[in-house]
Structure 1
């Protein structure tokens, strides 16, 4: 059963204890865009196909991003999300785990079931922690 994007954003807001729906939306978008920039295009596209259209749009935006992430942040997923959400790194990691948990539920396990070598190590660690 797929929830609408507004419901998903409220879930992220509630579970991550975020102050406003706008911040939850920004955090969800930043997390999914960063994910799409960090995994092979086929992985992001496959995951996008399994998500509600509004949520999948964030992954597709990451696929279509014309710019390359700041090289200093490119190898650090949490730093990339933190920069884009204006959260500190521990909070950005916590919020990203919440987004991954909800996305994984929405995609029928599509994120957590990715092969070990497909997700970058720092993303894999966050996904693994989100499934606990």
Structure 2
């Protein structure tokens, strides 16, 4: 999947007004995911995504400077996405599901299964609900 297609899918599925909002949603979600999973796992996932999108997984020092592999649950995951994307938390939860769904479709080889397995159950349930899941 190419960059424009990825962002277009996020924009359409999340019903965002424009590409800038879709870029911001993607960046917020993947940066937060990069903060939560190990650096190696983030690198493997990033390698399967378009370069500009994958780089968001490597920006782990953006939120508080703590780096990759932090331990936090669903509430903090959603809060960080909301903060970075400039949206309210219910929309951030929906955006997270959409971005993760598109990310899953853009990758292969079971990398998303490994990512999901590394997450706590409350975050895993959020990101595997798909774009039709509840907040």
Indicate the TM-score class for this superposition, using the shorter chain for normalisation: 0.7 to 0.9
Give distance in 2, aligned partners of 1:128 and 1:19. Answer: 24
Match of residue 14 from structure 1? 12
The aligned counterpart of 1:32 is: 30
Is contact 2:31-2:56 (8 Å) kept?
yes
Alpha-carbon shift at residue 8 of structure 1 (Å): 1.0
Q: What residue in structure 2 maps to residue 106 of structure 1?
A: 106
Cα pair distance change 1:54/1:120, threshold 3 Å: same
TM-score by length of 2: 0.80
Q: For the Cα contact (< 8 Å) 1:38–1:120, is it kept in 2?
A: no
Runs of 4+ in 1 over 4 A off after TM superposition: none
1:66-86 residue CA offsets vs partner (Å, 9 max, x unmatched): 7138xxxx5410011001111
C-alpha RMSD of matched pairs (Å): 2.2
In structure 2, how many angstroms separate the alpha carbons of the residues matched to 1:94 and 1:115?
A: 19
Could you list the runs of 5+ residues in structure 2 that have no partner in the other structure?
A: none
**In the alignment, what sits opposite 2:48?**
50
Residue 16 of structure 1, CA deviation: 0.4
**Cα 1:49–1:116 shift into 2, 3 Å:** closer
TM-score by length of 1: 0.82
- Deviation for aligned residue 1:123: 2.5
Unaligned runs of 5+ in 1: none
Aligned residues: 124
